[in-house]
Amino acid sequence: MKILVCEDEEILLTSLEFRLKKQGFEIVLAKDGKEAIEKIKTESPDLIVADIMMPNVTGLELISYVRKKLKSDMPIIMISAMGNDETVLKAFRLGATDFISKPFKPSELVLRIKMVFQEMELAAG
25: CATH: 3.40.50.2300
Residue 96: give the domain boundaries: 2-118
35, part of any domain:
yes
Q: pTM for this one?
A: 0.94
- Residues 76-111: pLDDT tens digits? 999 988 767 888 899 999 999 999 998 898 899 999
3-class secondary structure for the chain?
CEEEEECCCHHHHHHHHHHHHHCCCEEEEECCHHHHHHHHHHHCCCEEEEECCCCCCCHHHHHHHHHHHCCCCCCEEEEECCCCHHHHHHHHHHCCCEEEECCCCHHHHHHHHHHHHHHHHHHHC
Number of domains within the chain:
1
What pLDDT is stored for residue 39 in this prediction?
Answer: 97
33, part of any domain:
yes
- Residues 31-63: pLDDT tens digits? 999 999 999 999 999 999 999 999 899 999 999
